[in-house]
Structure 1
Amino acid sequence: MNLVLKDIISVSLVLFSVIDILGSIPIIISMRKKGIKIQSRKASIVACIIMILFLFAGEKLLTLFGVDIQSFAVAGSIVLFLLGIEMILGIHIFKEEPESTSSSIVPIAFPLVAGAGALTTILSLKAQYDNVNIFAGIVINIILVFLVLKFSDLIERKLGSSGAEILRKVFGIILLAIAIKLFKENLIF
C-alpha cells in the first residue's frame, strides 16, 4: 500500500466528477434561499465519515451478500455511466430525494455528497486502486466540498450559471469514459 500521486489524482477526479459539488451549487443556493442553514464543516465531516466507513466496510457488506468486488465494479460502472448521461444530457434518470429543512446533514452530506453514486464509485475504485490512495482522494474531495459549501455564493457569481453547466458536462464526459474503462477492466467472460 503506497501513496501514488497519479492514483490519488485519478481517484480524486473520479470522485469529483461523481460528487459533482460544482454542479450542485444551484441546489445549495436554492436551499439557502429557502432558509436552510448549511453548516459547511458539519456536512463535510459527516460525508467524509460515511465515505471512509464505506471504503473499509463496504467490501465486507458485499461479502455478506456473496458479491465479489469485480461484479460490484461492473454494476458500479453502469451506475456511473448513467450518472454521466444525466450530467451531459441534463435528464434525470435517478429519483431525486425530497429536501429537508431540518439540517444540512440531509440532504447535503447524504445523499448530495456521499450518495449512492459516490459510495458505488468508492467500492468500484477498490478493484483498481489501493485503499490509501482512495482514502486520500476522499479527503481531497471533502476539502473541496467544504470550500464549495463555504463559498458557494462567491463561486456562483464568478462562474455564472452557464459556466457551472459547462463544467458539469465536461465532468459528465470524463465520468462516461471512466465508467467504460471500469466496465472493460472488470468484465470477466
Structure 2
Amino acid sequence: MNVQFSFREIITATMILFAVIDIIGSVPIIISLRKKVGHIQSEKATIVSTLIMILFLFLGDEILSLIGVDVNSFAVAGSFILFFLAIEMILGITIFKDEMTESSSIVPLAFPLIAGAGTMTTLISLRAEFAVENIIVAILINSVFVFFVLKTSQKVEDILGGVGLNVLRKVFGIILLAIAVKLFTSNINQLF
C-alpha cells in the first residue's frame, strides 16, 4: 500500500469539509439544542460523527457499486447538494429540513448536523479527486475543530455575535458554491 500524504490535498479537503460541516454556522442550533436537552456530550458527538465519516469514506464506494452508481455520477449529484447548501448559507433560507428531536448528542448533533447528507456526499466526491489518507487527516482536523466548537459554543457565540456568525456563514457559503461548481465541471466530463 502506497501512502502519499499531500499537504495541499489535506488543506483543500479540510477547507471543503469545514465549509460543508459548517460547525460555526451551526452554533445557534447547538446553543438551542443545549437549552432543550440540557447537556451536550461533546466527546461522544465528536467521536460518533468522526466514525460515521470515516466508515462512509471506506464503505461509500461499495454502497454505490451495490446500487450501480459510479463515483463521478455521485460527485455530480453531490455538487448539486453542495450548491443548494451554499445557497442556504448565502441567502439564509432553508431548503433542507432537518428533524430536531429531543434525544442525546448522537441525534441530531453527530448525525445529521455534523455527519449529514452533505458531508457524506462530499466525502464520496473528495474520494474522486484526493487520496484517502489525506481525506482521513482532513476528517480528523475537522473533528478536533468540531470538538472545540461544541465545548465552547457559548463563548463562540459571545465572541462573534449574531452578525459575526452570519458573515462567517455567508463567506463559507460562497466558498462552498465555488467548490460545487468546480466539482460539477471536473466530474461531468467523465460521464460522457
Q: So what's the TM-score if we normalise by structure 2? A: 0.96
Aligned residue in 1 for 2:10? 8
Note if contact 2:37-2:103 (Cα within 8 Å) is conserved in structure 1: no
Q: Distance in 1 between matches of 2:69 and 2:119?
A: 19
Matches within 5 A, 1:154-169: 154-169=155-170
Matches within 5 A, 1:1-189: 1-97=3-99, 99-188=100-189, 189=192
Deviating 4+ runs (over 4 angstroms)? none
Structure 1: state its 5+ residue gaps: none
Q: Distance in 1 between matches of 2:147 and 2:30?
A: 12
Calculate the aligned-residue CA RMSD, in Å. Answer: 0.8
Alpha-carbon displacement from aligned partner over 1:5-39 (angstroms, at most 9, x marks no partner)? 11101000000000000000001111122233200
Q: Distance in 2 between matches of 1:51 and 1:35?
A: 25
Equivalent pairs: percent with the same residue?
59
Q: So what's the TM-score if we normalise by structure 1? A: 0.97
Give 2:172's aligned amino acid: F
Q: Distance in 1 between matches of 2:126 and 2:41?
A: 29
Structure 2: state its 5+ residue gaps: none
